[in-house]
Amino acid sequence: MKKILYLVILGFVFSPLCSFSQTAPASKKKKYGFTPALIRGPYLQAATPNSMVVRWRTDENDVSFVRYGLSPDQLDGLAGNSNRIKEHIVTLNGLKPDTKYYYLIEGVRDTLQGDENNHFRTLPLPGAKGKYRIGAFGDCGNNSTNQRLTRDAFEKYLGKEDLNAWILLGDNAYSFGKDDEYQTNFFDIYQDGLLKKAPLFPAPGNHDYHDTKMYAEFAQQSGELAYYKIFTMPTMGEAGGVPSRSQAFYSYDIGNIHFLSIDSHGEEDYASRLFDTSGRQVKWIKEDLEQNKHKDWIVAYWHHPPYSMGSHNSDTETQMRKIRENFVSILERYGVDLVLCGHSHSYERSGLMKGHLGLENSFDAATHQLSNSSAKYDGSANSCPYIKDESNQGTVYVVSGSAGALDYAQASFPHDAMQYSDVSIGGASLIEVENNRLDLKWIASNGEVKDQFTIMKKLNKRVVITAKKGEKVMLTASYPGQYIWEGMNKTTRSIEVTPKGKTTVYAVKDPQNCIRQEFEVRIQ
C-alpha cells in the first residue's frame, strides 16, 4: 500500500515534466535545454572577393555553423565552430569573386534559417569593370511608417536584381543607438530582405553615439557602443584600400569603385574629430586617397553633410560648417566623385561643383559649379551627364537622410548649391556603376524615382585605328548607354566595318545628343 501511494505521489509531482514538450511556454523551454531561437540575423559583413562574414544572434548559447554552396540544394561547404555562444560570427573563406552563393545557418539541433532567399554575391576583384548596384540608407532606424514604405519601394524597384552591397549613412537606430533599439528599429525592419542578401558597410552618426558629447569623446577608442559590437568592418585592407585598424573608419573596393566610410562624430585618440583634419582619421584618409586616386570611381560617405538646409543648417551648426571649411577641399584635391551624407532628414543634391567652402550666400554658380546641366540624362532640356576629365574635375554632394526619419526644413531651404531638394517625402538612394558611367537614383517611398543624375568619365572623343586593306574592324563606343551610328542605321554598342577608302570616319552618338564619338580608320 505504501509503495502504491509513493508511486501516485511521484507521478503527480513529475507529470508536468512528462508532457512539457507539448505544453510548456517558450520561457520554460530554454530552462530545460530546448533548441535556441534565432532572434537576430543572419546578416552579412566585411565582404571581400574571396570571403564573407555571416553574423546572427540566438536567445541561448548555441554552436555556430554555416553551410553554403552554388545552389540552394547543394550546400557542400561548411564553416563555423562548436563553441556555445549567443553572438555568432562565422567567416566563409576560399570563395570565388563576383559569385552568387546560397547558405543556411545551423545550431546544435536544427537549421535556424536557410532557403532559396538566403544568398549573397561576393565582391568583384578590385579594379574589375562590370555593372554594380549599391544602396544608401540615411537616418533609417526609427521604426516609422516612412521607414517601411521606403524599404518596400526600394526592394520593389530592385526586383530580382542583386545588390552588391548597401551602406548606412549614420543614425542607424534611434534615439540612442542602444542594442534593443537596433533590434526593433533596424534588424526587425530589414531582417527578411536586404540584411540576409547583401553585405552591409555602415558609418556611424551622432545618435549611434547616444547623441551625447561624453560618448563622442571616448566610445570610438573604447568600443563601448552597440554600433561597434554589432558590426564587423574590413579594417585591415582585406577588401581593398589602406588598413585603418579602426572600426570607426575604413575603405574597400567594389570592382572599379573605391569607397571610404568615415566617422564624422567620434573623437580619435581622445583628441581630434574629422573637422580638425590633424588627427589619425584624416591622416589615414589622405594616405588612402593617395594610393587609390587612380581608381575609376571614388565615393566617400559619412553622417554630417557640408551643405544642407534640411532639418539641419550647415551655416550655423559647428560640425557641418567646420567639415565644409576644413575637410571638403582634401577630398576635392584627390578627385572624389561622390559624397553621401545623412543627418538632415531630407534629400538634397548638388551639381558637379568644386571650391565652395563658405556660407550658403557665398555660393556662386559661375565660380563653383562646373556644369549647368541637371545631369538627369532623361531627354529633358539641359539634362546631359556631368562629364569629368583631366581638365574638369568636381564632386557631387548628396544628402540622403530620409530613409526613416523625415522632418522640417530650414527657412532658406533649399540650399543654394543644391539642384534638387525634397523634404516632403522619404526615400533611399541607389548607386549604379557600369564601367565609366555612374548613376544615382533617389527612390522615394511612393516608388517614384524623384531624382537622378549621371556622371561619365574617360569619353574618347576621337579614336584613330590603323588597319590593312580589306580587313574587318570592330568599333565600340566608349560609354554604356544607347547608340546611334550616323548614316548606318545601327544601334548596338559595337559594329563591324570594312573600310574602303584610305581614311574613313565613323561616328556614334546617344539619342539625347549629349555624347558624340568619332573613329578614324586609316588603311595602311
CA diameter of the chain: 120
Nearest Cα to Cα of residue 446 among 129, 156, 118: 156
Whether residue 322 has pLDDT greater than 60: yes
Question: Mapped to the 3 state alphabet, what secondary structure does 318-379 carry?
Answer: HHHHHHHHHHHHHHHHCCCCEEEECCCCCEEEECCECCCCCCHHHCCHHHHECCCCCCCCCC
- Is residue 310 helix, strand or coil? coil
Cβ neighbors of 310 (< 8 A, separation 6 or more) are: 344, 345, 346, 348, 399, 401, 407, 409, 410, 413, 421, 423
Q: What is the pLDDT of residue 34?
A: 65
Q: What percent of the chain has pLDDT over 70?
A: 94
The rounded distance, in Å, linking the Cα atoms of 101 and 248 is: 29
Q: Please, which pLDDT band fits residue 218 given cuts at 50, 70 and 90? A: confident
User: What was the pLDDT predicted at 16?
Assistant: 32
Q: Is the pLDDT of residue 518 over 60?
A: yes
The CATH number of domain 462-523 is 2.60.40.10: yes
Q: Where in the chain is the domain with CATH 2.60.40.10?
A: 38-120, 462-523
- Residues of the chain within CATH 3.60.21.10 domain(s) are 125-457
* Cα–Cα distance for residue pair 141/198, rounded to 1 Å: 18
pLDDT of 1 over the 80 cut: no
Q: Which residue has the higher pLDDT, 451 or 462?
A: 451
User: Was domain 125-457 assigned CATH 3.40.50.10330?
Assistant: no
Strands 131-137 and 427-434: antiparallel
- Give the residue, 434 or 390, on which the prediction is more confident: 434
Give the pLDDT of residue 31: 43
Query: What pLDDT shows up at residue 33?
Result: 54
> pLDDT tens digit string along 378-423?
999 999 999 998 877 999 999 999 999 999 999 999 999 999 999 9
Q: How does pLDDT run across 68-126, given as a tens digit for each residue? A: 999 999 999 999 999 999 999 999 999 999 999 999 999 998 899 998 999 999 999 99
Query: pLDDT tens across 469-510, in order?
Result: 889 999 999 999 999 999 999 999 999 999 988 999 999 999
Query: What is the mean pLDDT of the segment spanning 287-311?
Result: 97
- For 29-69, the pLDDT digits (tens) are 444 456 899 999 999 999 999 999 999 999 999 999 999 99
Residue 13's pLDDT is: 34
Q: Give 471's contacts (C-beta < 8 A, 6+ positions apart).
A: 498
Contact 56, 183 (CB under 8 A): no
Minimal CA–CA distance to 42: which of 54, 51, 58, 59? 54
Looking at the predicted structure, is the pLDDT value of residue 206 above 90? yes
Rounded to the nearest 10 degrees, how much is the dihedral formed by the CA atoms of 274, 277, 281, 282? 120
- Exposure of 514 in the CB half-sphere (CA atoms within 13 A): 24
* Spatial separation of the C-alpha atoms in residues 168 and 153, rounded to whole Å: 17
Residue 4 confidence (pLDDT) above 70: no
pLDDT score of 266: 94
pLDDT of residue 215: 86
Residue 92: what residue type?
L
Q: Is the pLDDT of residue 425 over 60?
A: yes
| Pairing verdict, β 200-203 and 250-254 | unpaired
What whole-number percentage of the chain has pLDDT above 90?
86
Q: Flag whether pLDDT at 26 surpasses 80.
A: no
User: Has domain 38-120 been given CATH number 2.60.40.10?
Assistant: yes
